[in-house]
Amino acid sequence: MKQIKRTIINDALKRTDIGAEINIKGWVRTKRGNKNVSFIAINDGSTIKNMQVVADLSKFDEETLKAITTGSCVSVNGLLAQSIGQGQNVEIQATELEILGTADATYPLQKKGHTLEYLREIAHLRPRTNTFGAIFRIRHNMAIAIHTFFHQKGFYYFHTPLITASDCEGAGQMFQVTTMDLNKLDHTEEGKIDYTNDFFGKPTSLTVSGQLEGELAATSLGAIYTFGPTFRAENSNTPRHLAEFWMVEPEVAFNDINDNMDLAEEFIKFCVKWALDNCADDLQFLNDMFDKELISRMEGVLKDSFVRLPYTEGVRILEEAVKNGHKFEYPVYWGADLASEHERYLVENHFKKPVILTDYPKEIKAFYMKQNEDGKTVRAMDVLFPKIGEIIGGSEREADYDKLLQRIQELNIPMKDMWWYLDTRKYGSCPHSGFGLGFERLLLFVTGMQNIRDVIPFPRTPKNANF
Ligand code: ATP
Ligand code: MN
């Protein structure tokens, strides 16, 4: 076969130099035709669009043509031609065809229209479908949007550890990390497990959040963000929770909670606009196939200012709804941790736009949040989104050493884990704020998918760690 430098299909489809000799490589989606000619649709992942290859049957041996089946991988040399078919401007008149890899009739993606549930069982192949190609291209674009946004604003990308010896948000939901032989554990005299011979010489876990280390960075570099994997062993089999997910956590010195809300709103709008500007073909496909309101919902979020509302007011609205006959599965009262159905009621039924709920009861929020004068609430903020509920959780942090220490003691958080964190308040303490955005929750919003398992390539959930 003649050596011609490969053109990716996304570029080839934009070319106008009709008659040029080009090479493409990719996977066969469909083959149809008649006695004289075959039309082969090829996709190489660079775009949702296929390249149509036209093969004159008289020019190729039967063996080669027979091996061009759905799922096989081919290299095509040919001449760029104007396409009279609908949907594309150009096609390729094949001059040479090479089969790089065959795919027989057992290839699971023979016909279209598999359910998303079935595709989860073949997660190793699902990126070859239009749907998951679109989702993972959008996922990449959102990662680029995040780095672009923060870099342009002068934030530094800071890497916090994935293995941690501190349990910052409460026990019971962390994955333990150990090299000990679980069949032969050493015990102390009191009968507890002895970690002195373990790899780190003490109990360690996978991180649930990079925030505490992020605060160390913000109180030195000024404005930072983390963007990495996070692990939570919460046994909640919901469409919004993963055991391994990616989180974006900006943290900014001298920002109060209002600055924090401004940043969160500007950030999400930037990401949503980035998707609309850079993923038009993929969004249109998802909009047409899965969710006719996807694009208009995204545009809607850009248009309005987010509602900013204290938790206490939010609960009042929800109690009013209950009084007027609205049925929730979970009870709602001042002090309750709101469920997704409550959050979505506020956003979708009441305000019809995103809501930032602030000043939550301190009992349902983490120890590091700045305490309000009322002694009951803290300067927390959750950003609530249509279809999703909570997409961001954040707060202004408690900057006062004594108040923070008191809260740590009230909650019995072991000091041996916390001394380094308290040092930020001991030496040159400053007001600061930050938040965490669940990357996959953002992806749910910008893809219109309903299940978080469908926006990450290889989901980890209770009893499921395949691939
Ligand atoms: P939720 O109430 O939805 O369980 P959370 O209050 O535990 O979330 P935070 O600790 O505030 O969440 O984490 C910050 C963000 O990380 C959340 O707003 C959410 O977008 C995301 N997030 C939290 N837990 C998960 C999870 N298990 N899977 C995917 N994303 C998550
Ligand atoms: Mn939260």
Ligand 1 atom index nearest CA of 452: 29
Helix (H, G, I), strand (E, B) or coil at 330: coil
Q: What is the pLDDT of residue 113?
A: 84
Q: What is the pLDDT of residue 93?
A: 98
**Spatial distance between the Cα atoms of 78 and 56, rounded to a whole number of angstroms:** 11
| Pair type for strands 156-157 and 73-82 | unpaired
> Which of 201, 132, 219 is CA-nearest to residue 163?
201
Distance from the alpha carbon of residue 80 to the mean position of ligand 1, in angstroms? 49
Instruction: Give the tokens for residue 309.
Output: 């509302």
Pocket test for ligand 1, best of 207, 208, 241 (most atoms within 8 A of CB): 241
Q: Does 24 sit in the ligand 1 pocket, CB within 6 Å? A: no
Q: What is the pLDDT of residue 172?
A: 54
Q: Does 250 sit in the ligand 1 pocket, CB within 6 Å? A: no
Q: Which amino acid is at 271?
A: C
Count of CB atoms situated within 10 Å of the CB of 381: 24
> Which of 383, 336, 375 is CA-nearest to residue 357?
383
- Among protein residues, the one with the nearest Cα to ligand 1's atom 10 is 393
Structural contact between residues 109 and 103, judged by C-beta atoms closer than 8 angstroms: no
Residues 413-451 as b or e (16 or more Cβ within 10 Å = b): beeeebeebeebbeeebebbbbbbbbbbbbbbbbbbbee
**Spatial distance between the Cα atoms of 273 and 149, rounded to a whole number of angstroms:** 11
Q: Does 264 sit in the ligand 1 pocket, CB within 6 Å? A: no
- Among protein residues, the one with the nearest Cα to ligand 1's atom 12 is 393
Instruction: Give the tokens for residue 321.
Output: 């709804």
234: left (phi over 0), alpha (psi -120 to 50) or beta: beta
DSSP per residue, 361-413 = EGGGS-TTBPBPTTSSEEEEEEEEETTTEEEEEEEEBP--HHHHHHHHHHTT-
Residues 71-102 as b or e (16 or more Cβ within 10 Å = b): bbbbbbbbebeebeeeeeebbbbbbebebeee
Ligand 1 atom index nearest CA of 208: 10
The residues whose Cβ lies within 5 A of ligand 2, an ion, are 393
How confident is the chain (467 residues) per 10-residue block, as mean pLDDT?
97 97 98 94 98 96 95 98 86 98 96 91 97 98 98 98 78 85 94 95 93 96 98 90 97 98 98 98 98 97 96 98 97 96 97 97 95 97 96 98 94 85 96 98 98 98 95
Structural contact between residues 224 and 218, judged by C-beta atoms closer than 8 angstroms: yes
**Spatial distance between the Cα atoms of 14 and 226, rounded to a whole number of angstroms:** 37
SS3 content of the chain, % helix, strand, coil (to 5): 35, 25, 40
Q: What is the pLDDT of residue 416?
A: 78
Distance from the alpha carbon of residue 213 to the mean position of ligand 1, in angstroms? 18
Pocket test for ligand 1, best of 206, 247, 248 (most atoms within 8 A of CB): 247
Q: What is the pLDDT of residue 171?
A: 42
Q: Does 210 sit in the ligand 1 pocket, CB within 6 Å? A: no
- Among protein residues, the one with the nearest Cα to ligand 1's atom 16 is 438
Structural contact between residues 196 and 128, judged by C-beta atoms closer than 8 angstroms: no
Q: Does 434 sit in the ligand 1 pocket, CB within 6 Å? A: no
Q: What is the pLDDT of residue 310?
A: 98
Pocket test for ligand 1, best of 238, 390, 440 (most atoms within 8 A of CB): 390
Q: At what angle do helices 211-221 and 419-426 cross, to 10 degrees?
A: 30
> Which of 67, 84, 68 is CA-nearest to residue 18?
84
**Spatial distance between the Cα atoms of 410 and 387, rounded to a whole number of angstroms:** 36
| Pair type for strands 51-56 and 90-101 | parallel
**Spatial distance between the Cα atoms of 108 and 120, rounded to a whole number of angstroms:** 12
Terminus-to-terminus CA distance in the chain, angstroms? 36
Distance from the alpha carbon of residue 115 to the mean position of ligand 2, in angstroms? 31
For 145-157, the three-class secondary structure string (H helix, E strand, C coil) is: HHHHHHHHCCCEE
Q: Of the ligands numbered here, which is closest to the C-alpha atom of 388?
A: 1
Distance from the alpha carbon of residue 436 to the mean position of ligand 1, in angstroms? 8
**Spatial distance between the Cα atoms of 152 and 156, rounded to a whole number of angstroms:** 10
- Among protein residues, the one with the nearest Cα to ligand 1's atom 2 is 390
